Amino acid sequence: MDFTYNNRELSWLAFNERVLQEAQDRSVPLLSRLQFLGIFSNNQDEFFKVRIANLMRLCRARRQQRLTGGYTPAELLAEVSRRAERAQGLFTQTYHELLHEMEQQGIFVVDERHLSPEQREFCRDYFATVVSPRLVPLMLRKSVRIPFLPDGNAYLGVRMSSNDGKAPRYAVIRIPVSSACPRFVVLPAREGRSEVIFLDDIIRLMIDDVFFMFTYDHISVHTFKIMRDAELSIDDDVSKSLFERIAEGVESRRYGLPIRLIYDREMPVDLLDMLAGKLKLTAPGTLAPGDRYHLMKDLMRFPKVRPDLLTVNPAPLQHCDIIPFQSILKVVRKRDIFFNFPYHSFQHFIDFLREAAIDPRVERIAITLYRTAEHSKVINALVNAAKNGKQVSVLVELKARFDEEQNIEYTDLLQREGVKVIYAIEDLKVHSKIVLVERRESSGVRGYAYIGTGNFNEDTARIYGDFGLLTSHKGIVEDVRNVFQFLSNSHKQFKYKHLLVSPYYMREAFEELIDRETRNARKGRRAYIYAKCNSLTDERTIERLYRAAREGVEVRLIVRGACCLRPSVPGMSDRIRAISIVDKYLEHARLFIFCNDGEERIYIGSADWMSRNLDRRVEVCTPILDRQIQRLLRRVFDIQWSDNVKARDLADQTGNSYVKALPGEAPLRSQTALYDYYAGMLSR
């Protein structure tokens, strides 16, 4: 094995195990721990549908290339499966421990076998009015092809048998979860108790009513779920637009090959064989026995029966530079504004767009959209701007994984409302988070730009930690204008004076910034690199960081997810320390700080240090030129680096050991400390 790098897949699994640690942490409120189990389960499902599906494709290839860490695809698939199985066992153990703790708090998850007469009657009524109209039982026959079963759902496999020796009947029922028919139903219960039942068990209770037309002596019902390959295939038919081809690709992905069947281990063998045969799942590792319930991502939406047992996030703060109901553009004309969501209210960004939409002097608004909220205020503001006669250009990234369908719908809506929609470049995913506003003023047209690290999504902005810069700096605005020119005409290349823009210039710029620190260290000058990102997997960047560290550069890394760099290895990365912070907010911001011989260079933006971000995406990072904001960002990094409550030491990715407070050092939870820091700025 090659021990120079951590394998990306194994490092990502270590990250999701850190999410699982939050579910085990008794300092986290009880029902929030249950939600972390749901997050873990959702993450694990997406990992299998994307990364494991890719590994399986590599295993089918004739040539078995070596992957990061020295694994062959088959070796890595076996190791990933082993680690995932171990984590799933820990998930199950944690889930049952939480159920026990919930019972001590008067919260009970009951099944159809443990209902009071009153609860049984409630379930019958609920089934008749809410559930039954949504059920579509599918009968299975050996000689008939199985109806298509989409992934993303939990199913009930049903076996009906008689004592007369006739062959059993088999059926499948999709559990019809929706906002109107949730996975968990609160039952009438005695005072002082809360009782909740899975929707699965209400259907089990009423299963005889579902199959009343059949005669049988025994019926068994077992939950299962299917995972399908989530790869999006886009055909190369030049007679169709990119929009049409992606829409067709999203539709065809629904029919992606099944890669895994997870089933109740109590399921009868003949029913399992029927399902596996119909789905053509015969390869080793494609059948995974589990507990009674599946699709546990629904735990994220467990009923809030005891709000006192949930994490209460403090209300987002008013930005100290913004006065309510006064012009944001007027402030930006005087100075840059830095946002740190969710500590600052994302409503400020919405207000910025709304102001631009109705300001009679604003002539143009351009924006890139990657993931947006289901009922997006951002989309509404853009539509309003178009109705007010502004020239509105929106680049919608149709290839944003798992958001393609919603982005297609928003594209259609925007076009109907008169917004000019630019489709992303076919071979490049546009991941940058930028906005350009042009306003006619007495001195001519003035530009305002926003460059951020996170999506323009008011829902996720409440729980994602992100940065954003709002500026009227002429050089940065001109660079942002050129990025939009490039997106409109990908054949035209631009040189950028301030921004780091991939796929053409960002890698070289970061490499030069790292190399400069290396040269300064060789000369005996102080040299350091402090970086915060979601993932660090690009081997060229890692090699440069190793080289810099060997020459004496101090490297501090805060990496939430996959980290292929191995810190604190004698002779290779002694001067590199790396931590990961997993807490109530998802750490999503990207920040890069270079000593630069005492004249710090600081950047924020949308790019991680991953090959795909540097070479195959359009990403934008902006320098922070305002001295006050530079000092603020250094303080933000220092606070997070000092976390000794929720930080894990990435030198130990298999154990995910916590960074411990030194003797005499007070506990510091960085997300709480950051909120207090920004709140303190308001009182100055």
For residue 264, is pLDDT > 90? yes
pLDDT tens figures, 338-393: 999 999 999 999 999 999 999 999 999 999 998 898 899 999 999 999 999 999 99
Region of 502 (left: φ > 0; alpha: ψ -120 to 50; beta: rest) is: beta
Q: How far, rounded to the nearest angstrom, does the alpha carbon of residue 76 sit from its chain's CA centroid?
A: 24
Q: 187: helix, coil or strand?
A: strand
d(CA 682, CA 660): 31
CA distance to 50, 393, 542, per residue, from 435 (Å): 30, 10, 31
For residue 672, is pLDDT > 90? yes
Model pTM?
0.92
d(CA 466, CA 451): 11
| C-beta contacts of 280-283 below 8 A and 24+ residues apart | 283/56
Among 447, 440, 439, 437, which Cα is nearest to 472's?
447
Poorest-confidence range of 424-428, 540-544, 594-598? Answer: 424-428
Q: 658: helix, coil or strand?
A: strand
| Strands lying side by side in the sheet with 107-110 | 107-110, 194-198, 184-187
Q: 229: helix, coil or strand?
A: coil
Give the DSSP letter string of 253-290: HTTPPEEEEEEETTS-HHHHHHHHHHHT--STTSEEEE
Residue 268, preceding peptide bond in cis (omega within 30° of 0): no
Options 222, 319, 344, 431, the catalytic residue: 431
Output the 3-class SS for 313-338.
Answer: CCCCECCCCCCCCCCHHHHHHHCCEE
Structure-token pair, residue 682: 């308001």
Structure-token pair, residue 457: 């999504």
For residue 402, is pLDDT > 70? no
For residue 237, is pLDDT > 60? no
Q: 641: helix, coil or strand?
A: helix
Mention every residue, 6+ apart, whose C-beta is less than 8 A from residue 298: 38, 177, 183, 184
User: In whole numbers, what is the pLDDT of the chain averaged over residues?
Assistant: 91
Output the 3-class SS for 350-398.
Answer: HHHHHHHHHCCCEEEEEEEECCCCCCCHHHHHHHHHHHCCCEEEEEECC
pLDDT tens figures, 516-559: 999 999 999 999 999 999 999 999 999 999 999 999 999 999 99
Which pLDDT belongs to residue 225? 94
Q: What is the dihedral of CA 540, 542, 546, 549, to 10 degrees?
A: 120
Among 558, 559, 560, which Cα is nearest to 16's?
560
- Cross-strand pairs, 174: 155
For residue 512, is pLDDT > 80? yes
d(CA 529, CA 519): 13
Which pLDDT belongs to residue 252? 46
Which pLDDT belongs to residue 70? 78
Please state which CATH number belongs to domain 501-682. Answer: 3.30.870.10
Question: Mean of the pLDDT values across residues 285-307?
Answer: 93
Are β-strands 528-533 and 554-559 bridged in parallel, bridged antiparallel, or unpaired? Answer: parallel
Which pLDDT belongs to residue 2? 64
Among 263, 223, 289, 276, which Cα is nearest to 89's?
289
Structure-token pair, residue 434: 């930028």
Which pLDDT belongs to residue 334? 96
Among 171, 262, 261, which Cα is nearest to 220's?
171
Among 99, 84, 73, which Cα is nearest to 45's?
84
Alpha helices in 68-113 (DSSP H): 73-104
CA distance to 4, 5, 630, 649, 659, per residue, from 635 (Å): 32, 30, 9, 21, 19
d(CA 391, CA 385): 8
Mention every residue, 6+ apart, whose C-beta is less than 8 A from residue 284: none
Question: Mean of the pLDDT values across residues 229-249?
Answer: 49
Give the DSSP letter string of 495-555: --SS-EETTTTHHHHHHHHHHHHHHHHHTT---EEEEEES-B--HHHHHHHHHHHHTT-EE
DSSP 585: S
d(CA 64, CA 43): 27
Structure-token pair, residue 461: 């902005």
Mention every residue, 6+ apart, whose C-beta is less than 8 A from residue 412: none
Q: How far, rounded to the nearest angstrom, does the alpha carbon of residue 89 sit from its chain's CA centroid?
A: 23
d(CA 306, CA 304): 5
Helix (H) or strand (E) holding 611: helix 611-615
CATH 3.30.1840.10 intervals, the chain = 110-299
Over its C-alpha atoms, the chain yields an Rg (Å, rounded) of 27
CATH 1.20.58.310 intervals, the chain = 1-105
d(CA 286, CA 277): 12
d(CA 581, CA 593): 18
Q: Rounded to the nearest 5 degrees, what angle is found at the Cα of 34, between the Cα atoms of 32 and 36?
A: 75
Region of 268 (left: φ > 0; alpha: ψ -120 to 50; beta: rest) is: beta
For residue 235, is pLDDT > 60? no
Which pLDDT belongs to residue 251? 46
DSSP 50: I
pLDDT tens figures, 34-45: 999 999 999 999
141-170 burial, b at 16+ Cβ within 10 Å, e below that, comes to eeeeebeebebbebbbbbbbbeeeeeebbb
Which pLDDT belongs to residue 248? 47
CATH 3.30.870.10 intervals, the chain = 328-495, 501-682
Structure-token pair, residue 141: 């026959």
431 is catalytic: yes
Among 231, 617, 239, 232, which Cα is nearest to 408's?
232
Q: 612: helix, coil or strand?
A: helix
Which pLDDT belongs to residue 653? 77
For residue 419, is pLDDT > 80? yes
Homologous superfamily (CATH) for 1-105? Polyphosphate kinase N-terminal domain (1.20.58.310)
Homologous superfamily (CATH) for 328-495? Endonuclease Chain A (3.30.870.10)
How many residues would you count in the chain?
A: 684
pLDDT tens figures, 27-72: 999 999 999 999 999 999 989 888 888 888 888 776 667 777 778 8
194 phi, psi to nearest 5 deg? -120, 130
Residue 545, CB half-sphere, CA atoms under 13 Å: how many? 32
For residue 401, is pLDDT > 70? no
pLDDT tens figures, 144-192: 788 888 888 999 999 999 999 899 999 999 999 999 999 999 999 888 8
d(CA 519, CA 533): 24
For residue 125, is pLDDT > 50? yes
Q: What is 110-299's CATH number, 3.40.50.2300, 3.30.1840.10, 3.20.20.60, 3.40.1190.20?
A: 3.30.1840.10
